[in-house]
Amino acid sequence: MRFLIDNNSDAAFLRKSRKLITAGMILSSFLLSSGSLMAQWNNNPQVNRILVSNVKNPYNITASPDQSGGGFLFWEDKVDTTHTNVFFQHYNENGQVSFRTDGKPVSLSQSSRSFPVSCTSLQNSAVVFFKDFSDGKAGELYAQKVSSKGDLLWGSKGIRVTYQDAGILELSAAGDNEANTFVTYIYRNYGTPADYIIYVQKLNPSGKTSFRGNGVTIIKSPSIKSRPRIAPDNRGGAYIFWIESNEGKARLYSQHITSSGRTSWSSRPLLVSTGGENVINYVAEPVASSAVYAAWEIKRSGRDILHQLISSDGKLLWNKNGERITGRYGDQTSPQPLCSDSSITLTWVNEALGDKDIFIQKYNLKGQAQWAKDGLPVIQTKGSQMSQRIIGDHSSGMIVTWLDKRSKTQRGNILAQRIDKNGRKLWDSLGVALASYANSEKSYLNILPSVGKSVVALFKETRNGQNGIFGQRILSNGKYSYEVSGFSATVDNNLVRTSWQSNNEQFNKGYYVERSTGSDTSWQRIKFIESKKLKGISTYEFSEKTPSSPEVYYRLVQVDNDGDEQKSAPVKLNFFNYNADSYALSQNFPNPFADSTTIKYYLPQDCNVTLEIYSDKIESISVPVNAFQTKGEHSYTFHAEGSYGRLPGGVYFYRLKAGEFVEVKKMIIVR
């Protein structure tokens, strides 16, 4: 940056520098939030990566993958005292948000919106369903498709899905492998008698509805219905589940529709929970294209879980009344499944003797347990471990995340465990921390796939009175996704010097230094450096002769023992050329630094020169150069310890004033 100031007024410099630095911070914040700079996932679970900020109090948070290693976040928040709206944000594989950090609204109409439910559509897009109150007090069902760039692809208000005259109570949505999106919802007619109706609608990738009117009617009766769920069969149709209460009993029912919207399991729904117990909660997931799996929580003397596999033609394939998942002592609650073409893995919470622990079991498609008879503990320790989520680990195993409260006074952290196909724990037996900011409220835990063998945990958290949505990425080895810090590339005479630091790298194989000339798209690997495999902080350097291109990019590729790669943000170099007619100030090297760094500058003519070092509070630390100097190249080595004491780690600035030329650059000290 270059600017002119009053040569006789240091006060003027300080005033203008404060404004300039403040403006630079604002600009940097904007660039980070708008995607112009490459942000990275954080390698500290006490910090995490903030994806949504400057919001009031987001709730009803839902998330969907973008099929490119990133994801979409949707949430509801108050706009004012009387209105709410639904907002969204996108992040990429590097944890970089795509637009403003407080998100964008899914509709530009002035009315309220609520209850977002999202699902993936095509790559780098997602569909969200929500209630919109612009057409009446009861609220109608709308849908919007958004892109990773923040575009509203189905118009400024979205697409209206229903035309009802009363209340839409609950809804569920899911996408299939052909980019269709399904939504099922419960509608209550307040006539006499009051009927509860379950509808299903399908939208193609362009947003066109497949079924007439309000959708296909699955069932209509006065019996109270709740908790609808839809599971696409990946043949153009879908399975629909719900809980129905009648004569004091709450039972689980299901129905199937074909791609044309015809119900295929006779005119009456299938009773899934045939045992007669009250169903409290359930989950349902498709298994390949041949069946659908359901697990439901019932109330007996305590709480128990039963499960069932249902064929595509509506037959109960296991025990008629469902199979009991375990004979383990205590209450069994909160089933969460992971289904593949050949097996089903189920997690649940076991509550016994005042503690809540998470267990896991794998079943074949005949319902036979594949691991220990009553399941294996994912985490078994004092306190409450609950609200678990499960996702595949990209290599026939799985990763489980959960909310962990190990004492009554603790608000809870988020932990994770990886389990292989044989039920063996691959990480620390007590779990790996994903979010451990001290004693803060964490909620709305989601887990999404990312690139390579990594996953991302997403959650809401309140820190210092401010609400936000955070993310943490973790690799298959249980380490955080990006363990390299301070990667820099600078020019020193006729050399380009790269340097970086790495923390806890015993799982790393090494590092590739890559170069690209003229753009950041065509990368060449120029050096591989083996990892030192230390538990603490390791420092690395690599130098090469200055390339002939005036514009060169460098980046670092971290390779772990499994061969998975993590790429740093690229660093752009415009070389420090000594033009006989212009002044020039180089970036200090190394940067960041711990002990000393070199600052170079070029003078096109003899002149008075002042070089001054400032803190991030624009307080002068040192004036190492204040003299008349001759034309040519000059350099100064700045030490982080001197008459001013030992400087703490942080951001500092150095200012060169030569004649009428003034320039300021930033440098970083690490401790």
- Percent share of the chain, pLDDT over 70: 92
pLDDT mean over 618-633: 94
> Is the per-residue pLDDT at 565 higher than 90?
no
SS3 of 147-214: the string is ECCCCECCCCCCEECCCCCCEEEEEEEEECCCCCEEEEEEEEECCCCCEEEEEEEEECCCCCECCCCC
User: Which positions ≥6 away from 288 have C-beta within 8 Å?
Assistant: 234, 340, 341
Residue 543 binned pLDDT confidence (cut-offs 50, 70, 90): very high
Residue 519 binned pLDDT confidence (cut-offs 50, 70, 90): confident
CATH 2.60.40.10 domain position(s) in the chain = 484-574
> Is the per-residue pLDDT at 12 higher than 70?
no
Residue 403 binned pLDDT confidence (cut-offs 50, 70, 90): very high
User: Which positions ≥6 away from 100 have C-beta within 8 Å?
Assistant: 33, 34
Would you state the pLDDT for residue 440?
92
pLDDT mean over 87-95: 94
**Cβ(318)–Cβ(367) under 8 Å?**
yes
How far is 330 from 63, CA to CA, in rounded Å? 32
> Is the per-residue pLDDT at 576 higher than 80?
no
Would you state the pLDDT for residue 578?
63
**Cβ(415)–Cβ(432) under 8 Å?**
yes
| Residue keyed to tokens 């229903």 | 162
CATH 2.60.40.1930 domain position(s) in the chain = 10-33+577-669
Lowest mean pLDDT among 106-110, 371-375, 547-551, 614-618: 547-551
* Strand duo 537-545 + 524-530: pairing: unpaired
pLDDT mean over 89-95: 93
> Is the per-residue pLDDT at 574 higher than 70?
no
- Total-model pTM: 0.73
Residue 229 tokens, joined? 């769920």
Would you state the pLDDT for residue 441?
92
> Is the per-residue pLDDT at 220 higher than 90?
yes
Q: Which amino acid is at 605?
A: Q
> Is the per-residue pLDDT at 33 higher than 80?
no
How far is 83 from 112, CA to CA, in rounded Å? 5
* Beta strands in 266-315, from DSSP E residues, in sequence order: 270-271, 278-287, 291-299, 303-311
| β-pair partners for 344 | 339, 363
pLDDT of 282-311, one tens digit each?
999 999 878 999 999 999 889 999 999 999
574 compared with 367, residue with greater pLDDT: 367
Collapsed DSSP state (helix, strand, coil) of residue 30? helix
Would you state the pLDDT for residue 289?
75
**DSSP one-letter string for 61-86:** EEEEE-SSS-EEEEEEEESSSS-EEE
Based on its alpha-carbon atoms, the radius of gyration of the chain, rounded to whole angstroms, reads: 30
> Is the per-residue pLDDT at 7 higher than 50?
no
Q: How far apart are the first and last CA of the chain?
A: 27
- Percent share of the chain, pLDDT over 90: 69
Would you state the pLDDT for residue 23?
37
Would you state the pLDDT for residue 483?
65
Name the CATH superfamily for 10-33+577-669. Macroglobulin (MG2) domain (2.60.40.1930)
252 compared with 480, residue with greater pLDDT: 252
Collapsed DSSP state (helix, strand, coil) of residue 28? helix
Neighbours of 370 (CB within 10 A): 14
Would you state the pLDDT for residue 293?
98
Residue 128 binned pLDDT confidence (cut-offs 50, 70, 90): very high
Give the number of residues written for the chain: 671
CATH fold of the domain at 484-574: Immunoglobulin-like (2.60.40)
DSSP helix, strand, coil percent of the chain (3-state; round to 5):
5, 55, 40
Averaged confidence pLDDT in the chain:
88
Would you state the pLDDT for residue 481?
61
> Is the per-residue pLDDT at 43 higher than 90?
no
Would you state the pLDDT for residue 189?
84
pLDDT mean over 264-274: 92
pLDDT mean over 615-630: 94
How far is 325 from 349, CA to CA, in rounded Å? 12
Indicate the DSSP class of residue 97.
Answer: B
Cα distances (Å, whole numbers) of residue 243 to 272, 282, 313, 397, 653: 10, 9, 20, 32, 64
Of 582, 592, 576, the residue nearest 652 (C-alpha): 592
